[in-house]
Amino acid sequence: MRKAGRHFLQIPGPSPVPDRILRAIDMPVIDHRGPGFADLGNRVLTGMQGIFKTRQPVIIYPASGTGAWEAALVNALNHGDKVLMVETGHFAFLWQKLALKLGLKPEVLETDWRRGADPELIEKALRADKDHTVKALCVVHNETSTGSTSRIHAVRKAIDAANHPALLMVDTISGLASADFCFDDWGVDVAVSGSQKGLMLPPGLSFNAVSEKALKASAQSNLPKAYWNWAEMIEANERGYFPYTPSTNLLFGLAEAIDMLNEEGLDNVFARHMRHAAATRQAVEAWGLEVQCQVNTEFSPVLTAVRVPDGTDADELRSVILAQCDTSLGNGLSKVQGKVFRIGHLGDINDVTLLGTLSGIEVGLHLAGVPHQTGGAQAALDFLKSNRQQASKAA
pLDDT in tens, 204-247: 999 999 999 999 999 999 999 999 999 999 999 999 999 999 99
Q: Which residues contact 318 (CB under 8 A, 6 or more apart)?
A: 328, 329, 331, 341, 364
Same domain, 254 and 330: no
Distance CA 51, CA 249 (A): 20
Same domain, 249 and 334: no
pLDDT exceeds 50 at position 90: yes
- What is the number of domains present in the chain? 2
To the nearest whole percent, how much of the chain has pLDDT over 90? Answer: 93
Which domain CATH number covers 129? 3.40.640.10
What is residue 3's predicted lDDT score, i.e. its pLDDT? 85
Q: Which residues contact 146 (CB under 8 A, 6 or more apart)?
A: 88, 89, 90, 113, 114, 292, 293, 305, 336, 340
Distance CA 73, CA 126 (A): 19
Instruction: Answer yes or no: are the C-beta atoms of 209 and 53 closer than 8 Å.
Output: no
Q: Which residues contact 364 (CB under 8 A, 6 or more apart)?
A: 317, 318, 320, 321, 324, 325, 327, 370
In a domain, 134, yes or no: yes
In a domain, 90, yes or no: yes
Instruction: Answer yes or no: are the C-beta atoms of 167 and 189 closer than 8 Å.
Output: yes
What is residue 183's predicted lDDT score, i.e. its pLDDT? 98
4/168: higher pLDDT? 168
What is residue 283's predicted lDDT score, i.e. its pLDDT? 98
Instruction: Answer yes or no: are the C-beta atoms of 194 and 64 closer than 8 Å.
Output: yes
Q: Which residues contact 210 (CB under 8 A, 6 or more apart)?
A: 56, 57, 58, 59, 75, 189, 190, 218, 230
**Average pLDDT over all residues of the chain:** 96
Give the residue from 262, 277, 312 where a domain finishes. 262
Same domain, 206 and 317: no
| Cα angle value 96/98/103 (rounded, 5°) | 100
In a domain, 216, yes or no: yes
In a domain, 201, yes or no: yes
pLDDT classification of 395: cutoffs 50, 70, 90: very low
What is residue 15's predicted lDDT score, i.e. its pLDDT? 96
Same domain, 221 and 318: no
Distance CA 208, CA 187 (A): 15
Peptide linkage before 14 cis (omega within 30 of 0): yes
Sign of CA dihedral 90, 18, 301, 48: positive
In a domain, 2, yes or no: no
pLDDT classification of 392: cutoffs 50, 70, 90: low
Which domain CATH number covers 362? 3.90.1150.10
Q: Which residues contact 124 (CB under 8 A, 6 or more apart)?
A: none
pLDDT tens figures, 287-320: 999 999 999 999 999 999 999 999 999 999 999 9
What is residue 125's predicted lDDT score, i.e. its pLDDT? 97
Distance CA 256, CA 24 (A): 7
In a domain, 38, yes or no: yes
Distance CA 370, CA 142 (A): 28
Same domain, 258 and 300: no
Count CB-CB contacts under 10 A for residue 386.
7
What is residue 91's predicted lDDT score, i.e. its pLDDT? 85
Mean pLDDT confidence for 52-79: 97
Give the residue from 243, 262, 281 where a domain finishes. 262
Count CB-CB contacts under 10 A for residue 84.
22
- The reported pTM is 0.96
The residue type at 281: R
Mean pLDDT confidence for 85-103: 91
- Domain of residue 127, residue span: 19-262
Give the residue from 203, 237, 262 where a domain finishes. 262
pLDDT tens figures, 97-115: 999 999 999 999 988 999 9
When computed from its CA atoms, the radius of gyration of the chain, rounded to whole angstroms, is: 21
